[in-house]
Each structure stands twice: as C-alpha cells, then as structure tokens.
Copies of this chain bind each other. A is one copy, B any other.
Amino acid sequence: MYEHTDKERLLLAVDCIVFGFDGEKLKILLIKRGFEPEKGKWSLVGGFLKKNEVLHDAATRILTLYTGLDDVYMEQVGTFSDIDRDPEERTVSTAYYALINIKNHSQKLNRQFSARWFSVEEAPPLIFDHDKMVRYALDRLKIKAETEPIGFELLPEKFTMRQLQNLYEAIWNVSLDKRNFISKVRSLDILEKLDEKDMTSSRKGSFLYRFDAEKYRTVERNRASLNL
C-alpha cells in the first residue's frame, strides 16, 4: 500500500540501444566510458532522468547528445531494476531503442565520446546489465520488424533490394529467398522503383528504390504484416 515509510527515492537512468544499418550488417552504437564507474569499458549511451523531464524526452536528449541526431524513432524496451546493477548506488534504468540510418550520421560523435559502431554479433561485453538490455531490445526489434516496415528508419533514402533483404536477414538472423522476398515486398506496395541504378555493388548495377511515404503511412495504419 501507499504507506509513507516504504517510499524510497532512487535514481532513474535511461540507456539507449542505438541500432544502425550499413547495408550489410545490423550495428549498435557503443561508447568507451570516459568516466567512472567502469571507465574505459564499453557501454550503451545513457544518462539520468531530470526532474521535469519524461523518459522519452530524456532518451531523445541523450541520443542527440551522443549522435547529434534528433527526430529519431525510439521506443521503450523496458525497465531494469536489479539491485546491484550499478555498483555506485541503487539505480533503476529504463532502456529505449532507437533506429537510425548510419549514412545520415555525422562523424563528430566519434571524436567527442569514443563512440563506435559494432556489428551486433561482434560487440564487446558491456558494463552493468547492458548486454541484457541489448538482448531485450533485439527481441523487440525482431517482433517490430514482423509487423511494421522499419526500413524507413534504418535505410538511406535510396537503397537496393539487396540492402533491404540484408536488413531483414540481419535482424532475424536468417537467410531469405531472394525471389520470395522481392515478391512479398512488392505485394506490400510501399516502394517506388527509381530509374537510377547503384553501380557500386555489381557490374550490372542494381535499381534503387525509395519508400513511398504516402503508401507507407497507409500500411502503418493498417498494421499490414511483413511476413517474410
């Protein structure tokens, strides 16, 4: 019950799992901590909730601080409360995941915070319970990708079919049949095929596509399933 003696005030942190995609592999943004505790080890980007701030704003603030980006897709993953997760003081942390497009991503972050992209499989061990947060965030991303088209957030404006397929293969850690993938994506009718070709990937070149924002929103509203 709401008895006064039980009320304990504690620190509430926010940690962000920043997912990015480079056309090949799914990546997360990590920083080498320049401060105690655990100075020198890799961690998620994070900070503390301020008095007159809601969690989502705190997550956005932290993301902007570390990446220079705003207007980023973010979603709450969950709140982690193990007693000794932070050795300094009892701290509960709410994790958010963000989806960002690596190409839009200024390089200043590297200099300031020793931030680096790691592919999800090759990331180093993280401090505190951050590995657990990443696992939860990945699970959420996998589920999200089943019912909502997340490419808008993770891919550059123009991309090839191969890149789109790589994205889903990376998220679900599966390999998909090219023909089935393409026909499924086509049936969703949210892509616009451009006349341009990307010539970097092959001699033949591959056509570029773009999301059709209009159709895309319709699909989002209908929660159309992307069962690949």
Contacts and interface: CB of A to CB of B under 8 A. Distances in A.
Copies per complex?
2
Contacts of A7: 11, 48
Contacts of A82: 54
A6 to B, nearest CB: 5
Interface in A61-100: 65, 76, 78-79, 81-83, 90, 92, 94
18 contacts: A1-B35, A1-B65, A2-B35, A8-B51, A9-B10, A10-B10, A10-B12, A10-B51, A49-B81, A51-B90, A52-B83, A54-B83, A55-B79, A55-B92, A56-B81, A78-B78, A78-B79, A79-B79
A76 B95 CA distance: 13
Interface in A1-26: 1-2, 6-12
A41 to B, nearest CB: 13
